Chain A
Amino acid sequence: RKEVEQDPGPFNVPEGATVAFNCTYSNSASQSFFWYRQDCRKEPKLLMSVYSSGNEDGRFTAQLNRASQYISLLIRDSKLSDSATYLCVVPSAHSGAGSYQLTFGKGTKLSVIP
């Protein structure tokens, strides 16, 4: 299994639709996870953190299934402004240094259509 794997999409959905992205990871020791959002020709920015079974922030819900090593991001009532690439991110401990680095998935591209 790749370290972090995502469906690349693109997902083309109409405004108001609900869309879900999936992500699988290989490092079973990871304790926390992130979803970053990257707009076209911009830098990635943190969207949500997931520390336990899940997290909800407005229209966005992230869920974690540790047994299956699976993370999902659900967007309800999609807006045009949600069009972006969504990156699944998994920390991995750097042995001996007590510090962490992030491994990014290649991202899932979402286009919300009027």
Chain B
Amino acid sequence: DAGVIQSPRHEVTEMGQEVTLRCKPISGHNSLFWYRQTMMRGLELLIYFNNNVPIDDSGMPEDRFSAKMPNASFSTLKIQPSEPRDSAVYFCASSPVPGGDTDTQYFGPGTRLTVL
């Protein structure tokens, strides 16, 4: 079975450009999570969806960040305009069932973003 798929794996862009990160969760999983990881702050939850509906976006840093999940098999995280401080590894994760504190989250390989 394919795991969580993310694209691109690496992105280098210039400040001010729009960046779109993509995620395909594991088929049948109902929850999807976007995280950002930096050395300074560790792994931070940005937003998560249950059954394609955003549940909590309090971790989204500011209005430059937006996320969508138009269907059960696809989600995007967009940064517009991008800034150097957005440089990080962005992970997408999915889990089988909404709710349930025992549910494992399965992570994608991440997108390494560098904003110059």
A positions within 8 Å CB-CB of B = 30-32, 34, 42-46, 49, 51, 87, 91, 93-94, 97-107
Taking A101-B33, A101-B48 as contacts, is the C-beta distance between A94 and B56 under 8 angstroms?
Answer: yes
Is chain A's interface secondary structure helix, strand, loop, or mixed overall?
strand
Task: Name which residue of chain A comes closest to B6, CB basis.
Answer: A43
- Name the residue among A30, A91, A101, A103 with the largest chain B CB count within 10 angstroms: A101
Q: Is the CB of A93 within 8 A of B109?
A: no
B positions within 8 Å CB-CB of A = 31, 33, 35, 41-45, 48, 50, 55-56, 91, 98-105, 107-110
Q: Using A42-B109, A49-B104 as known contacts, list a sample of 5 further A-B pairs with CB atoms less than 8 Å apart, ordered by residue number in A.
A: A44-B107, A97-B56, A99-B48, A100-B100, A104-B42
- Pick the residue among A30, A32, A99 that contacts B31 (CB under 8 A): A99
In the assembled complex, 11 residue pairs joining A and B whose CB atoms fall closer than 8 Å, in A order, are A43-B110, A44-B107, A87-B43, A91-B101, A94-B56, A97-B55, A98-B99, A99-B31, A100-B100, A101-B48, A104-B42
Task: Name which residue of chain A comes closest to B100, CB basis.
Answer: A100
Counted as pairs of residues, one from A and one from B, with CB atoms less than 8 Å apart, the total is: 58
- Pick the residue among A51, A101, A107 that contacts B56 (CB under 8 A): A101
A79 to chain B, nearest CB (A): 23
Q: Is the CB of B101 within 8 A of A49?
A: no
